[in-house]
Structure 1
Amino acid sequence: MYLCFIDESGHIPSKGSPKVRYFVIAALIIPESQWQEISREFEAAKRRFKVEGEIKWQFFGPDNTSKGNCLLHLSFDERSKLRNQLLASITKRKSCRIVATKSEMAKAWQQGYIKSKMDVYHYTYKQTLERVNYFLQDMSKVTGDFQRGLVVCDHRGKDDDRAFRDYHAVITEKESAYTSRFEHFVERVMLTESHHSVGIQLVDLCAGAIGHAFNHDKMSWIDTLRPNIRAHPQKGIDGFGLVHWPK
């Protein structure tokens, strides 16, 4: 079985706002057998740098001095070294895979069916979840065994969680000619508090790296992750591990 952690990068901008070009939702897919060692490596890296608290992509910025930033005692170079060590727990394992959707905000708000920020989130999430399902389909063919995944997302609030669970149920259970058959998932979505979840904190770094790449035209961190992004043997990651929406 695979543990499929899903999280977003940043926030969805209001309609017409030029501040954010792309909103990103990423999934980090980890084989169950690798989970314990990855968790140990994650915590060990934090101990080496004397970090206590939740890891977030935004905390690594040199200008981030927010009160809740657990990296304030580290220099910029130390923050970069820590981030490298945390991501290494993923990148050194070829069995860990990443898929993501980058939603272009200017085009998304032009779609007639997009009425709210929640609509943007749902359609971005759906594209990402489809790629997780395709990965599980691929692995079922490779191994000859039916592979399943457990989806884990960040808890928000009571009302938001209820709406999200309902949406997840609709897209994974409804039979439609326009919807993928999500038959590889165990139960429904699991929601957990991010500060208690190593997987959510790691996928936050993945989503942050991808969002940073396309919002700031800086590819260094996404290039670090590129070997782990789901890809077609000839066509690469575009459309397979990294979806651009709307097309």
Structure 2
Amino acid sequence: MYLCYLDESGTGQVLNPAVIDSVPVMVIGGFTVPESQVKALAWDFIALKKKFRPELRKRPTLSQVVHHEIKGETVRKCFRRPGRNQRRMAHGFLDHLLTILEQRDCTVMARIWVKQDGVSNDDAAMYASAVTALCANFEHYLAERSGSGIAVLDSRNPSDNIGNVHCVTTRKFSKGGDRMPHLPESPVFGHSNTHLGLQIADLLVSAVLAPAAAVTYAGDLTGNVHCHPKFAEVRDRHLPRIGKLQHRYQSPTGKWTGGIVVSDARGHQSAGKLFAPAATAPDTPLGFPAQTSPEDLATAASFPRTTTPAP
């Protein structure tokens, strides 16, 4: 049995270059983990939270530590702050998080949309098609291992939740046969303050993939808070490691797919731009700073896990 946790960052709202906080990308993604590693993953992450938020060590119950979230948005803000130490702390936290994923045999997957200026987008359709594609990626991953799995989505609201999984449900229970036989059920929903896996997915999507994609594909939006120049450090330092955690495979037509897929309607650039080697040596990590209180938009292009295709 395997678990897949998925979360999102950004919306399909129209991108307005004149508005400094207009969001240029929408990212839906997360990670998979073997059932045999779930408990160890959880305890690793709890220890990480306590390491970088020492006040959590004084919480009297485990449930309080789990309930306290270190949000990806908060980590992302650290990279925009002028203090170098705060950026180093945030990078150190993400370094440790990726080490946990590597040690617990996890894989990372995502769908990234880069929006065009002034173009209306179907938010619901974008999310639903991403969930369907990610579940198809998960299905292939499970089939290779002759295993089964459950996908857990961060709950939004009842009406959105229904639309987000409807495409998966119809693929599973249509008269034409089950197209995702290794998923015994359509994706289920959880709340991030009670699911450590969803907290990790939020950090991956909101603190790493979203800022890295924004600065890479929409860096020309001068002054936009989502395209801060320091986000290039996030991409250069952490995306090479994430690239090695992808589950990549060839479709029946021979096309490589899976892992992190980018649909760039703005500049029609490939996902390869996300995985450039780090430009500088990483800083020594410190601690974590105090936390303050449809269809693809363009032809999808993705980047191989390795330079040599797997057989």
* TM-score range for the pair, normalised by the shorter chain length: 0.7 to 0.9
The equivalences for 1:87-236 within 5 A come to 87-93=98-104, 95-106=105-116, 116-140=122-146, 147-174=147-174, 181-208=179-206, 209-217=208-216, 218=232, 219=235, 220-232=237-249
Cα 1:6–1:120 shift into 2, 3 Å: same
Q: Which has the larger radius of gyration?
A: 2
Which is bigger in relative contact order (C-alpha 8 A, separation at least 6)?
1
Provide structure 1 residue ranges, at least 5 long, that are not aligned to the other structure: 66-73, 141-146
Instruction: Select which of 64, 77, 80 maps to 2:88.
Output: 77
Which AA in structure 2 matches 1:158?
Answer: P
Task: Describe the SS at the equivalent of 1:106.
Answer: coil
Q: How many residues align?
A: 221
The alpha-carbon deviation at position 64 of structure 1 amounts to 7.7
Equivalent AA in structure 1 for residue 259 of structure 2:
G
Residue by residue over 1:13-34, the C-alpha shift from the partner in whole angstroms, topping out at 9 and shown as x without a partner, is 3235454443221131100000
Paired AA for residue 91 in structure 2: S
Q: 1:196–1:138: structure 2 CA closer, same or farther, 3 Å change rule?
A: same
Match of 2:303 in 1: none
Distance 1:172 1:121, change over 3 A: same
Q: Aligned to 1:118, what secondary structure does the other structure show?
A: helix
Give the AA of the match of 1:87.
Answer: L
Q: Is the counterpart of residue 62 in structure 1 residue 78 in structure 2?
A: yes
Within 2, Cα distance between the matches of 1:152 and 1:160? 15
Q: What's the counterpart of residue 261 of structure 2?
A: 243
Secondary structure in 2 aligned to 1:137? helix
Contact 2:79 2:90 in 1 (8 A): no
Q: Please say if residues 124 and 160 of structure 2, whose CA atoms lie closer than 8 Å, have aligned partners that are also in contact.
A: no
TM-score (norm 1): 0.77
Q: What 5-or-longer segments of structure 2 have no aligned partner?
A: 57-64, 217-231, 264-297, 300-311
Q: What's the secondary structure of 1:80's corresponding residue?
A: helix
Say which SS state the counterpart of residue 181 (structure 1) adopts.
coil
Deviation string, structure 1 residues 67-100 (Cα, Å, up to 9, x no partner): xxxxxxx94432332222222210234x211121
RMSD: 2.9
Structure 1 stretch displaced more, 81-90 or 18-27? 18-27
Give percent identity, aligned residues only. Answer: 20
CA contact (8 A) 1:91 1:225 kept: no
The 1:83–1:223 alpha-carbon spacing in structure 2 relative to 1, beyond 3 Å, is same
Contact 1:103 1:124 in 2 (8 A): no
The change in CA–CA distance for 1:118 and 1:230 in structure 2 (over 3 A counts) is same
- Residue 282 of structure 2 is matched in structure 1 by none
| TM-score (ref. length: structure 2) | 0.63
Q: Distance in 1 between matches of 2:211 and 2:196?
A: 21
The answer to whether the 8 A contact 1:165-1:189 is kept is yes
